Structure formats: structure tokens, C-alpha cells
Amino acid sequence: MIQLKTIDELRLMKESARLVSKTLGMLAKEIKPGITTLYLDKLAHDFIKDHGAEPAFLGYGGFPNSLCISPNEQVVHGFPNKEVVKEGDVLSVDCGVILNGFVGDHAYTFEIGEVKPEVKKLLQVTKESLYKGIEQCIRGKRIGDISHAIQAHCEKEGYGVVRELVGHGLGRQMHEDPQVPNYGRQGSGKVIKDGLAIAIEPMINLGTEKVKFHNDGWTVTTLDNMPSAHFEHDVAVINGKPVLLSTFQYVYEALGIVSDEEKPFQLDF
């Protein structure tokens, strides 16, 4: 059952989401060739604790780390480790916190130095599809409208849209109803209402949409070992329209990126 949130609850959720956003912004300054993903995990863990919150991923279903870090052909749920990040890699960093009893869950795929043009385009289109989905978070529309918008934008470029992994409702639990697939039919699924809070997270592959689940119970890679991209925002529906709880602005400040992509979805509340 979908748990619609009050404005007061959404204010608390925004605090949680913004702490994740700040964590990703802090990490953006550190992500470069030669570092290890385990180093990033330690930085994030300490940063979250220093801000009075708990890492939402640590111990979740037995997950051993505070971040999911998934390089290149890894789609999601990668374990931080001692392998060195290299020039030309891409790195999906997925972070969650628990603050004031609510979960924030937010991801960004980083370019390490100069990446291949086709990979850079994959990241660009995947992020664009995230905002195409957010545009559909309007009272009276349906979850399938979000899904269809993401799928249509990515498949017109020939990319594979992962089926087995989806976005989700968000609140006091990390995974609540409804599921938010990145593929689907317009006009299908649950009706969108005020107070809905969801994590929209396109997971898009350069090649096939098919993925492989590894024996560690977590790691997911593309079946053809081609790169994958993953971006995630926390979104609420307020007064009939989509409002971002999370933001990439801290990442952009760290990387020197100028963007107004979030402007249509900003609201002080």
C-alpha cells in the first residue's frame, strides 16, 4: 500500500535527501584516477555519521558497506573494494542515509577523467531520461507514464533499459510501494497523488538490457559487459506537481558544472 506523506514528513525527507546530496558532492571532489572505492566508502560513512545520520545501506539485507559503488559494466549494488579507479572508468555511486527517521536514497554516475564519447553520451541520455520521468510526476497521471517516458527516451538512442531493477517508493523504509520501473505503458500503474514520494532511478546499458546477477547476492553486471549508467533522484508530488527532494547541485559545484536542469522541479516548502 502506498504511504502518502504529509508536508511535514516531506520536509524531513528533504533533509535526508539533501544530506545524501551533500555526501555525493563531498565525494565528487575526491573521485579521480588512483583512489580506491573503499576509500570513498570510508569518507561517506564518516561524513554521514558526522552529520548525525546513519548510513542506510550498511547492514541492509546484510550489505557490508555504506555505499554501493558500481564501475563500468556493473549496473548497481557493487561492493566498495581495494581496486584502483582508472582513467576512462565510469563509477555509479549510490548512497542512502537515515535522518529524522526517514531515508534519503540518491545516485550519480561519475566520469573518471576522459571517457569514450559513446560512454559520455550514455551518461548524458540516462540523466536526461531521469528528468523526463520526473516531468510525469503529476497528480492524476500514473506510474506507467514515468516508466514510459524513461524507456522511450533511452530506447530511441538504442540503449538497453534494465527490466529486473526498478525505482521505488521512499519514506521511513528504503523500499516502499509503489515500484517504479524504467519501462512500461502510458496510462498503466497506480495513480499519482499529492504526498507521493518516490526514488526514480534509470539504469541504462550501452548494449543489451539483459543483466547477470552474481553469486555474492548483490553485484549486477551487464550481460555483454558493456558500460551501464545510473542516476537517481528523490521526488515528491506537492500541489499536483513534481518537487525534487534531492539535488545534484553539490556535485555540480564540485565538478564546475553549470546546469539549470533542476529549476522546474524546485520548491521551497
Segment 134-157, tens digit of pLDDT? 999 999 999 999 999 999 999 999
Q: What percent of the chain has pLDDT over 70?
A: 100
**Residues 199, 233: contact at Cβ < 8 Å?**
yes
Q: What is the mean pLDDT of residues 259-265?
A: 97
Pairwise CA distance, residues 90 & 85, whole Å: 9
Amino acid at 212: K
CA dist 33 and 136 (Å) reads 37
pLDDT of residue 216: 94
Residue 185 counted as domain residue: yes
Residue 94, annotated ligand binder?
yes
Number of structural domains, the chain?
1
Q: What are phi and psi of 79, to 5 degrees?
A: -85, 130
Q: Would 220 be classed as within a structural domain?
A: yes
* pLDDT tier at 131, thresholds 50, 70, 90: very high
Contact 183, 227 (CB under 8 A): no
| 139: containing domain | 7-265
175 is in an annotated binding site: yes
So what's the pLDDT on residue 219? 96
1 inside domain:
no
Q: State residue 166's pLDDT score.
A: 98
Q: What is the mean pLDDT of residues 114-130?
A: 98
51 is in an annotated binding site: no
In a domain, 187, yes or no: yes
Helix (H) or strand (E) holding 7: helix 7-28
Grid coordinates in use for 257? Answer: 558544472
| H or E segment to which residue 177 belongs | strand 176-180
Average pLDDT over every residue of 222-239: 98
Listed residue (92, 74, 201) closest to 147, CA to CA:
201
The residue among 186, 95, 170 whose CA lies nearest residue 178 is: 170
pTM for the structure as a whole: 0.98
Domain CATH number, residue 256 = 3.90.230.10
**Under 8 Å between Cβ of 80 and 95:** no
Residue 9 known to bind ligand? no
On whether residue 94 sits in a domain, the answer given is yes
Query: Which residues lie below 8 Å from residue 10, measured CB to CB, with a gap of 6+?
Result: 195, 197, 236, 238, 243, 245, 269
- Give 203's strand partners: 230
Give the model's confidence band at 82: pLDDT under 50 very low, under 70 low, under 90 confident, else very high.
very high
Would you say residue 115 lies in a domain? yes
Q: Is the dihedral of CA 267, 111, 133, 76 positive or negative?
A: negative
Whole-angstrom Cα distance, residue 198 to residue 45?
A: 24
Cβ–Cβ < 8 Å for 163, 183: yes
Q: How confident is the model at residue 123 (pLDDT cuts 50, 70, 90)?
A: very high
Q: Is 233 annotated as a binding residue?
A: no
What's the rounded Cα separation, in Å, for the pair 121 and 153? Answer: 13
Q: Is 83 within any annotated ligand binding site?
A: no
Q: Return the amino acid letter for 178.
A: P
On whether residue 2 sits in a domain, the answer given is no
- The answer to whether position 209 is within a domain reads yes
**155 known ligand binder:** no
